């Protein structure tokens, strides 16, 4: 406690020293600026009077002797002609001197170079100096008062700003995976509601992610349980049969091998999920995304031709360089193109199309298959259509990859034709 108090005192002392230094520097700078302008105006006034005297009176020395009092009262200046060897033939010169308690400004103007005589004009600036000193004190006071007001205002403002931040911090700190809840924004100031909405969106994404994870593990356990039960049941039935001939044993082994293959397929899908999760941390690299789609399309065209199906590319623009995670993009496109080839009938066409819409790159894959059933969430783990022979993790992994890239993926039935259209939208901000 004492340590914390000493830290606060040290911080306060440093703040006071910094404030005092800042006040002195700003006040002195302003004072120097005011004095410079004041002296400049005085010097310009004296220069004008000197020019007037030198031009109006050719024999200025005699005129000053005769009209010294008149000129002093008229010009408010003391004028005299005197030699000034220290000037060393300089054209004009000003200096401020102190005579007892008075401050005087003197201007030296060449009169006769041979005798080194100068017209010397002297003006009393004691009042000016006193006014400037009073002004300097007033500036220091005003600057100090202003800084104190600013510091108090900043203190109360920071306290007001920290309050909602502490509210968000405490709420988030108390959350755990089992009790995720949206933050209440009714008591939050309007300026912090966008931040609260962003935090709530993040909480919603975390909830969805945890829900998908939960569904994945439950689905994986269920999917693994079925082939294991088949293997166990078939083995038990075979052992109970009295006529254990070679055909019976061979049939049981073949069924067990088929179930094991199903198990391997599920395990491979789960491993693919792990690899896809790891690919989210891949460093984004700059590629020509249109050229990348063309190359991927060419790879699948060989598979499609073997099945008497045809891939048509309608890619726009001609070229588009973006920074993107290639592994994730390849995984998404592979999945939707493979599905399009798989579910399209022989002799049909698969169309791969891309175009720019506002700040998004849109990639669409159309097929001519049977379409998808209504009210079926294809992106949930282990969800698949009746005709599908996969594990149901492909589209789930594709959606996870799209989400991590800031994009969206959707699959819908075509309006006027048989088949589906898969759409991937990638915002340029994410690429």
Q: Dump strand ranges (E) for 325-376.
A: 349-357, 360-366
User: How high is the pLDDT of residue 364?
Assistant: 92
pLDDT in tens, 399-420: 877 887 888 888 888 877 778 8
**Is residue 55 classed as helix, strand or coil in its secondary structure?**
helix
pLDDT in tens, 179-237: 777 888 888 878 788 888 888 888 877 777 777 677 666 666 666 666 677 677 767 76
Checking 295-302 for CB contacts under 8 A at 24+ apart, the result is: 296/330, 296/333, 296/334, 296/337, 297/337, 297/352, 300/334, 300/337, 300/338, 300/341
78-83: strand order across its sheet: 78-83, 117-124, 102-112, 93-99
Q: What is the mean pLDDT of residues 109-122?
A: 78
**What is the Cα 212 distance to its own chain's centre?**
29
pLDDT category of residue 429 using cuts at 50, 70 and 90: low
**Residue 35 exposure: Cα atoms within 13 Å on the Cβ side:** 18
Residue given tokens 């007037």 in the structure block:
52
CA distance 153 to 302: 72
* Helices 326-343 and 289-306, axial angle in degrees (round to 10): 30
**What is the Cα 394 distance to its own chain's centre?**
33
Domains assigned to the chain? 2-147 (no CATH), 181-279 (1.10.287), 285-427 (3.30.565.10)
DSSP class per residue in 111-140 = EETTTTEEEEEEEE-HHHHHHHHHHHHHHH
Statement: residue 277 has pLDDT above 70: no
pLDDT category of residue 353 using cuts at 50, 70 and 90: very high
CA distance 47 to 109: 8
**Is residue 17 classed as helix, strand or coil in its secondary structure?**
helix
Cis peptide before 174 (omega within 30 of 0): no
Q: Residue 79 in contact with residue 53, Cβ under 8 Å?
A: yes
Of residues 146 and 4, more confidently modeled: 146
pLDDT in tens, 26-44: 878 888 888 888 888 888 8
pLDDT category of residue 355 using cuts at 50, 70 and 90: very high
Q: Which two tokens stand for residue 161?
A: 């700003």
**What is the Cα 411 distance to its own chain's centre?**
33
Q: Dump strand ranges (E) for 270-375.
A: 285-288, 310-315, 321-324, 349-357, 360-366
pLDDT in tens, 141-157: 887 788 788 777 777 77
CA distance 329 to 307: 25
User: How high is the pLDDT of residue 362?
Assistant: 92
pTM of the model: 0.48
pLDDT in tens, 369-391: 888 777 776 766 666 565 555 55
User: How high is the pLDDT of residue 221?
Assistant: 65
Q: Which of 44-48, 204-208, 318-322 has the lowest mean pLDDT?
A: 204-208
DSSP class per residue in 68-82 = HHHHHHHHSSEEEEE
DSSP class per residue in 178-220 = T---PPP-TTS-GGGHHHHHHHHHHHHHHHHHHHHHHHHHHHH
349-357: strand order across its sheet: 310-315, 349-357, 360-366, 420-427, 408-413
Residue given tokens 């060419």 in the structure block:
298
Mean pLDDT of the chain: 78
């Amino acid at each position: 406690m004492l340590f914390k108090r000493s830290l606060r005192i040290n911080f306060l002392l440093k703040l006071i020293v910094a404030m005092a230094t800042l006040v002195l520097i700003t006040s002195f700078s302003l004072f120097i600026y005011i004095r410079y302008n004041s002296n400049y105006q005085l010097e310009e006034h004296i220069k004008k009077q000197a020019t007037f005297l030198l031009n109006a009176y050719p024999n200025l020395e005699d005129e000053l002797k005769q009209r010294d009092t008149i000129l002093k009262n008229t010009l408010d200046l003391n004028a005299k002609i005197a030699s000034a060897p220290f000037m060393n033939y300089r054209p004009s010169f000003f200096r401020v001197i102190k005579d007892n308690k008075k401050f005087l400004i003197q201007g030296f103007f060449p009169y006769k170079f041979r005798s080194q005589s100068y017209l010397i004009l002297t003006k009393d600036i004691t009042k000016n100096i006193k006014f400037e000193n009073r002004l300097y004190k007033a500036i220091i006071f005003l600057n100090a008062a202003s800084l104190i007001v600013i510091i108090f205002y900043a203190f109360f403002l920071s306290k007001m700003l920290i309050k909602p931040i502490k509210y968000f911090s405490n709420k988030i700190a108390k959350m755990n995976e089992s009790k995720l809840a949206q933050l209440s924004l009714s008591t939050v100031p309007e300026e912090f509601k966008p931040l609260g909405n962003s935090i709530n969106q993040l909480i919603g994404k975390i909830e969805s992610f945890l829900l998908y994870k939960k569904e994945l593990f439950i689905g994986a356990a269920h999917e693994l349980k079925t082939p294991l039960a088949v293997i166990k049941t078939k083995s038990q039935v075979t052992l109970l049969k009295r006529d254990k001939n070679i055909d019976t044993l061979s049939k049981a082994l073949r069924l067990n091998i088929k179930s094991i293959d199903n198990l391997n397929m599920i395990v491979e899908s789960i491993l693919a999920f792990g690899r896809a999760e790891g690919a989210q941390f891949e460093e984004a690299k700059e590629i020509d995304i249109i050229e990348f789609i063309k190359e991927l399309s060419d790879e699948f065209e060989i598979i499609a031709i073997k099945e008497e199906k045809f891939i048509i590319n309608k890619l726009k623009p001609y070229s588009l360089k973006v920074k993107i995670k290639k592994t994730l993009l390849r995984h998404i496109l592979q999945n939707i193109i493979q599905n399009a080839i798989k579910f399209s009938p022989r002799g049909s066409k698969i169309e791969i199309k891309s175009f720019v819409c506002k700040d998004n790159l849109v990639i669409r894959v159309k097929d001519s298959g049977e379409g998808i059933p209504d009210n079926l969430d294809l992106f949930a783990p282990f969800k698949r259509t009746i005709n599908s022979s996969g594990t149901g993790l492909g589209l789930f992994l594709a959606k996870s990859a799209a989400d991590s890239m800031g994009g969206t993926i959707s699959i819908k039935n075509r309006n006027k034709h048989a088949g589906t259209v898969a759409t991937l939208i990638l915002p340029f901000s994410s690429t």
